[in-house]
Chains A and B, each alone.
Chain A
Amino acid sequence: GQQVMQIPQYQHVQEGEDFTTYCNSSTTLSNIQWYKQRPGGHPVFLIQLVKSGEVKKQKRLTFQFGEAKKNSSLHITATQTTDVGTYFCVYYGGSQGNLIFGKGTKLSVKP
């Protein structure tokens, strides 16, 4: 079935540096969502992208959906320690509305 691959698996940055995680699918996706999970916490919804080439911004976070709807990226400008956590790209897997998670990118930020 469909799968999404996320890279990198881990990213360590100095506070203030930028960070990008990429999500790639072998098939066209109808939508892509991004969730953040803090250490020891639960996934929290960040955003949903549905249109080809869509770009959305939330403060320092920029989300993109590829033109072919097979890839997506999340870029964080000037990381802060509050950005620490695992970022998952996720999509609706079927008619029952369940989510299919990538393995995530774990971000650590050194102050």
Chain B
Amino acid sequence: NAGVTQTPKFRILKIGQSMTLQCAQDMNHNYMYWYRQDPGMGLKLIYYSVGAGITDKGEVPNGYNVSRSTTEDFPLRLELAAPSQTSVYFCASGFLSGTVFSNEQFFGPGTRLTVL
């Protein structure tokens, strides 16, 4: 299993440009998440999905959009990039067993994004 994969690893954008961060998992997890991590901080939730076709906002959704057309893929779209979106973006997945979430979430390697 590859686990959670993310592309690209690094990207530099100009203000106002758009891009899509790709995330895929091969563990058949129903839950997927996008977090951002600013320097010296913990992770904050941007968007999440509980299954294909279902997405919802997290703590910091402004400036982002997501879609979930398949169980495996959960891309994050940045429209009109701004310097405040300079961050490291992590995708993660997990599953629900009965009514209890699995012990751990599995994180991808991250995408380092700089907006200039």
Contacts and interface: CB of A to CB of B under 8 A. Distances in A.
Interface of A: 33, 41-45, 48, 88, 90, 92-93, 96-99, 101-104, 106
Nearest to A96: B48
Of the listed residues A90, A96, A97, A102, the one surrounded by the most CB atoms of chain B closer than 10 A to its CB is A97
For chain B, which range describes its interface: under 10, 10 to 19, 20 to 34, or 35 or more residues?
A: 20 to 34
* Binding site secondary structure of chain B: strand
A98 B45 contact: yes
A47 B110 CA distance: 21
Given A33-B104, A45-B103, A48-B103, A97 B42 contact: no
Given A43-B43, A98-B33, A98-B45, A92 B107 contact: no
A84 to B, nearest CB: 16
Given A42-B90, A42-B107, A48-B103, A104 B31 contact: no
B74 to A, nearest CB: 13
B85 interface: no
A97 B41 CA distance: 20
Nearest to B110: A42
A70 to B, nearest CB: 18
Contacts of A45: 103-106
Given A97-B31, A98-B58, A104 B42 contact: yes
A64 B108 CA distance: 28
17 contacts: A33-B104, A42-B107, A42-B108, A43-B43, A44-B107, A45-B104, A48-B103, A88-B42, A90-B42, A92-B101, A96-B48, A96-B56, A97-B31, A97-B105, A98-B48, A102-B42, A103-B41
Given A98-B58, A99-B35, 4 more contacts: A43-B43, A98-B48, A99-B45, A101-B43
Q: Which 7 A-B pairs have the closest CB atoms?
A: A101-B42, A45-B104, A42-B107, A97-B101, A48-B103, A98-B45, A101-B43
